[in-house]
């Protein structure tokens, strides 16, 4: 790094021109009609003009505007409209260009409090649109690093605890990407992990970024099929269901809700294939298709974001009258199971993982089976930008509740699992792990008699 590091405030590339006539200023933004306003005083207008071109530091803007309040007035006004960007420079190079992702972003106006600094635990360096960027769930802005900026960052990171004299680290602290080595966090903030905050921020309208049904792959990539091709393996017809019997024996929703419990003590008798057939039919069968091609939507007994129904159900069976221990795919379209080859050990691992999730003692009976819920995430991501994983998890929650209610109505022992391992299913599917991934587990058996 050469010489002094400066954090410059300036109009972003979006502002094509700026004209001044006395205190009257006209901004021309790329995407807006010309914006004309009268600055409160001539020095306010001077400060606005200083934001043009390379920009000015906050101290320079304060000098120009005559007071911190006047400089803050100018900065706040344009930051809120997302007209401002920031540059970190040294005497030779631009080290980083910083664009805000929301109108509520502003760098800290004050320098760091003289303590050692380090990369914020909520920030990361990654590649985006072919460039090296600093990103953080805690910062509604993104810093694009130049080659010199990457070298400067490497220096700041290599100083395991960048010293106060590191002016680049200080600028990154003002921008929010660096933190004190001992972060001053509220207890609530300490509970948020990097991935939690990044997913939260990136999958809400918290940042002015594309989000929702943008169909960003349309024209460039075929959408994944609405119906998952049946995996190879032995086909097992599920016993026919008696819909009239469901209608006759099902209790009112209110009564089912009142009885619903997570049950982890199991009967000696195994669950039967007939019961699993009824359960899968009531929870997961496909009831209809609409549309064609890109826009094929599917209906099932539970609702699903965009009616895409990207979730697939698998049974990891320890015991079930009529099935050998293995992992089975449930074909919701024809109500048929397919036994996945060489999957007995994987079924055992899935069930043991469930037993751990449910804190079952070593000697306790295991559930008869774990229903693994997988997401064909590309089907959601093909249509929805930024929210695909969020939608799939929300869909799993919806399925969990329906599983609880149907299991309760049928007198079964249900329990959702909050933690699971995607790998056993991935290994038996032996496909591209990005095509489909296990994201939820739910245990079933008959309950121990009370």
Ligand X SMILES: Cc1cc2nc3c(=O)[nH]c(=O)nc-3n(C[C@H](O)[C@H](O)[C@H](O)COP(=O)(O)O)c2cc1C
State yes or no: residue 147 binds ligand X (CB under 6 A): no
**3-class SS of residue 147:** helix
Task: Enter the tokens of residue 18.
Answer: 């700026």
State yes or no: residue 400 binds ligand X (CB under 6 A): yes
Q: Which among 44, 105, 53 has a CA at the least distance from the CA of 80?
A: 105
State yes or no: residue 126 binds ligand X (CB under 6 A): no
Task: Enter the tokens of residue 61.
Answer: 């803007």
State yes or no: residue 372 binds ligand X (CB under 6 A): no
Beta carbon nearer to ligand X, 15 or 415: 415
Contacting range for ligand X; rule: CB under 6 A; set: 168-176, 227-235, 301-309, 413-421:
413-421
Q: Which among 74, 200, 91, 89 has a CA at the least distance from the CA of 138?
A: 200
State yes or no: residue 361 binds ligand X (CB under 6 A): no
Q: Among 418, 432, 434, 450, which residue interacts with ligand X (rule: CB under 6 A)?
A: 418
User: What are the start-end ranges of the H helices in 300-450?
Assistant: 344-357, 377-383, 388-409, 423-429
Residues in the chain: 450
Site string for ligand X, 261-280 (x = CB under 6 A): xx------------------
Residue 417 CB, nearest approach to ligand X (Å): 4
Q: Helices 273-284 and 388-409 meet at what angle, rounded to 10?
A: 130
Q: Among 87, 146, 370, 417, which residue interacts with ligand X (rule: CB under 6 A)?
A: 417
**3-class SS of residue 98:** strand
Q: Which residues pair with 414 in a beta bridge?
A: 444
State yes or no: residue 407 binds ligand X (CB under 6 A): no
State yes or no: residue 251 binds ligand X (CB under 6 A): no
Q: Which among 92, 100, 90, 54 has a CA at the least distance from the CA of 170?
A: 90
Task: Enter the tokens of residue 241.
Answer: 């269901």
Q: In this structure, are residues 228 and 383 in contact, taking their beta carbons and an 8 Å threshold?
A: no
State yes or no: residue 355 binds ligand X (CB under 6 A): no
Beta carbon nearer to ligand X, 358 or 439: 358
d(C-alpha 367, C-alpha 276), whole Å: 14
Size of the site for ligand X (CB under 6 A): 10
Residue 358 CB, nearest approach to ligand X (Å): 4
Contacting range for ligand X; rule: CB under 6 A; set: 5-13, 190-198, 318-326, 415-423:
415-423
Q: Among 311, 415, 438, 444, which residue interacts with ligand X (rule: CB under 6 A)?
A: 415
Beta carbon nearer to ligand X, 148 or 283: 283
Residues forming contacts to ligand X in the complex (CB under 6 A) are 261-262, 357-358, 400, 415-419
């Amino acid at each position: 790094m050469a010489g002094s590091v400066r954090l410059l405030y300036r109009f972003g590339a979006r502002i094509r021109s700026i004209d001044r006539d006395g205190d009257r200023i006209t901004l021309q933004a790329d995407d807006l009609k010309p914006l004309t306003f009268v600055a409160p005083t001539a020095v306010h207008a001077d400060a606005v003009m200083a934001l043009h071109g390379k920009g000015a530091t906050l101290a320079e803007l304060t000098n120009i505007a005559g007071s911190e309040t006047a400089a803050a007035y100018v900065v706040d006004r344009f930051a809120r409209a997302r007209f401002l960007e920031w540059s970190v420079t040294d005497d030779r190079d631009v080290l980083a260009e910083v664009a805000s992702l929301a109108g509520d972003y502003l760098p800290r106006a004050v320098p760091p409090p003289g303590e050692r600094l380090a990369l914020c635990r909520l920030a990361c360096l990654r590649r985006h649109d072919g460039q090296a960027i600093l990103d953080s769930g805690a910062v509604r802005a993104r810093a694009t690093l130049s080659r010199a900026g990457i070298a400067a960052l490497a220096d700041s990171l290599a100083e395991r605890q960048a010293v106060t004299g590191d002016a680049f680290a200080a600028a990154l602290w003002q921008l929010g990407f660096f933190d004190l080595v001992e972060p001053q966090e509220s207890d609530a903030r300490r509970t948020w992990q990097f991935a939690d905050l990044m997913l939260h921020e990136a999958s809400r309208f918290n940042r002015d970024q594309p989000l929702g049904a943008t169909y960003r792959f349309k024209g460039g990539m075929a959408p994944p099929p609405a119906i998952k091709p049946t995996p190879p393996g032995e086909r097992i017809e599920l016993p026919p269901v008696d819909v009239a019997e469901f209608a006759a024996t099902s209790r009112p929703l209110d009564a089912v809700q009142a009885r619903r419990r997570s049950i982890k003590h199991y009967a000696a008798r195994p669950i039967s294939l007939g019961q699993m057939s009824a359960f899968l039919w009531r929870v997961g069968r496909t009831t209809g298709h609409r549309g064609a091609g890109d826009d094929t939507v599917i209906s099932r007994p539970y609702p699903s974001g965009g009616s895409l129904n990207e979730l697939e159900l698998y049974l990891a069976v320890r015991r079930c009258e009529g099935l050998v221990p293995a992992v089975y795919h449930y074909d919701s379209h024809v109500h048929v199971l397919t036994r996945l080859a060489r999957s007995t050990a994987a079924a055992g691992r899935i069930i043991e993982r469930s037993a751990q999730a449910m804190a079952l003692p070593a000697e306790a009976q295991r559930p008869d089976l774990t229903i693994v819920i997988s997401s064909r995430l590309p089907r959601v991501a093909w249509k929805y930008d930024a929210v695909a994983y969020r939608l799939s998890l929300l869909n799993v929650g919806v399925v969990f509740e329906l599983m609880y209610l149907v299991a309760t109505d049928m007198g079964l022992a249900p329990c959702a699992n909050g933690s699971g391992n995607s790998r056993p299913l991935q290994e038996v599917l032996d496909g591209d792990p990005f095509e489909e991934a296990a994201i939820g587990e739910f245990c079933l058996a008959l309950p121990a008699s009370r």
